Amino acid sequence: MSREQVFTLEATPLKYGRGAAGDAGWELERLGVTKAMLVSDPGVVAAGITDRVRQAIEASGIDVEVWSSARVEPTADSFAEAAAFAVDGGFDGFVGLGGGSSIDTAKVSDLIATHGGEIMEYVNPPVGEGRKPPSPLKPLLAIPTTCGSGAEATTVAILDIPEQKVKTGISHRYLRPNQAIVDPSLTESLPAEVVASCGLDVICHAAESYIAKPFSSRDAPDSPGDRPPYQGATPISDIWSAKALEYGGRYLRDAVAGDVEARGWMMLAASLAGIGFGAAGVHIPHACAYPIAGLKHEYQPAGYPDDHPFVPHGQSVIVTAPAAFRFTYDADPERHHRVASLLTGEPAEGIDALPDALTELMRDVGAPMGIGELGYGIEDVDDLVEGALKQQRLLVIAPREAGAEDLGAILRASL
Ligand SMILES: [Fe+2]
């Protein structure tokens, strides 16, 4: 079988700047939308943001109905509730307004409203059936209100499957929003803990995609449709990921401390990283993050709604990153040095450079320093490994093959 020689870059058209959310109606009109479902969550409603955007949409003469029950860390059930609303509503366009969960909920609502079927049919195998949508969805406008998920730029919707104690996703290029509006003024009221978790997620997106194995190390697909959304690092994804790392290192600490301008830069970094990892993919820390978030629901994070215990996504990702990048170091030391150097703004060398840069940043922004703080002990490692191994879609682009023993060692080192 021959090696892959082709790579792609698809990016969501992006509109960035303070006040840009006021263009929501104009953008929907441009996309031909006359009746929109606006997906949001209770926190975004309470901050007054949902009303502002709804008014901006109505001012363009577009009908809009708000569905504001998007849940942080969505499940198939919460997706299904939104999808049922979408099917009943007869909408010809969708808006995801909020964190990654609201935007992902809008993606799935659009998918089911356009093509029907059950959510689990579309979920990535082996958890679901991996059904592919046959044609593009209805227009989707994404308006993030956090500085982290990059969901406005990606082709995935992540969900928690509590029955199987795993988090996984639906991923297809048609899920990518048709337009993103990134407005830094929407992040002003975000709690510091949320900014920290989101920002660490951004840094992992960028670091994992930059360190992913090169696209050219994959086998060529039999047909273009079989080319995976996560291709491995490409010369173009590197550009986006590197810039996001530079901004993350420079602005995350100030953003957590409440600096509005730094929050704006982190929002931009989230979108840049979203484009980078949307093409290249993420691997070991994200593969471990899904069982870390999915296996136990005991941790109650500060700064988040206290309606159900959960591990915020960014925290679940960052906790294994130092050990994961120590494991991958030998695959390409130069790339690990480069990531450390982009984060710190200084020359970096050696196996500890990147893990050290990450732990310093985690400490500075008050992140949990390991999976022990999230409620896990040595006795949970086997179950976590089992969950991480289900994320083959991610693990295949790790620069070094990570089997059960390797993942166990990474998780033990992350206790
Ligand atoms: Fe992430």
- Residue 161's pLDDT is what? 85
Q: Would you write out the chain's pLDDT as a tens digit for each of its 415 residues?
A: 799 999 999 899 999 999 999 999 999 999 999 999 999 999 999 999 999 999 999 999 999 999 999 988 898 999 999 999 999 999 999 999 999 999 999 999 999 999 999 999 999 888 899 999 999 999 999 999 998 778 998 899 998 888 877 778 899 999 999 999 999 999 988 999 999 999 999 999 999 999 999 999 999 999 988 888 889 999 999 999 999 999 999 999 999 999 999 999 999 999 999 999 999 999 999 999 999 998 887 888 988 878 788 899 999 999 999 999 999 999 999 999 999 999 999 999 999 999 999 999 999 999 999 999 999 999 999 999 999 998 888 999 999 999 999 999 999 999 9
| Phi, psi angle pair for 3, to nearest 5° | -80, 155
Q: How far apart are CA 193 and CA 303, in angstroms?
A: 5
- Residue 110's pLDDT is what? 98
Using the Cα atoms of residue 192, residue 194, residue 196 and residue 198 in order, give the sign of their dihedral. Answer: negative
Who surrounds ion ligand 1 at CB < 5 A? Answer: 201
| 126's tokens | 């082996």
CA of 269 to the centre of ligand 1 (A): 13
Q: How far apart are CA 144 and CA 148, in angstroms?
A: 9
CA of 266 to the centre of ligand 1 (A): 14
CA of 54 to the centre of ligand 1 (A): 28
- Residue 29's pLDDT is what? 98
Whether residue 355 contacts residue 234, with contact meaning beta carbons closer than 8 Å, is answered with no
CA of 171 to the centre of ligand 1 (A): 14
CA of 89 to the centre of ligand 1 (A): 31
CA of 402 to the centre of ligand 1 (A): 19
CA of 201 to the centre of ligand 1 (A): 5
CA of 393 to the centre of ligand 1 (A): 14
Whether residue 136 contacts residue 95, with contact meaning beta carbons closer than 8 Å, is answered with no
- Residue 126's pLDDT is what? 83
Please report where in the chains the tokens 């990474």 appear, as a residue: 410
